[in-house]
Amino acid sequence: MPKPSKPAASNAPLPSPTVMKLQILGAVFVPMALVGVWLHRQGFW
């Protein structure tokens, strides 16, 4: 019986802590900035 192969993603190296921090920052800050710009254009501020 053949062994099940591992998914390709499990063999990928983990990103560095700096890359992970930048990804989290981009996932949080960019949408907040876009909402802020949109609210400013709507006359909220």
Residue-wise pLDDT tens digits, 12-40: 678 788 999 999 999 999 999 999 999 99
- Which carries the bigger pLDDT value, residue 26 or residue 10? 26
Residue 6 scores a pLDDT above 70 = no
pTM greater than 0.85: no
pLDDT, position 31: 95
b/e burial code for range 9-43 (CB count within 10 A of at least 16 → b):
eeeeeeeeeeeeeeeeeeeeeeeeeeeeeeeeeee
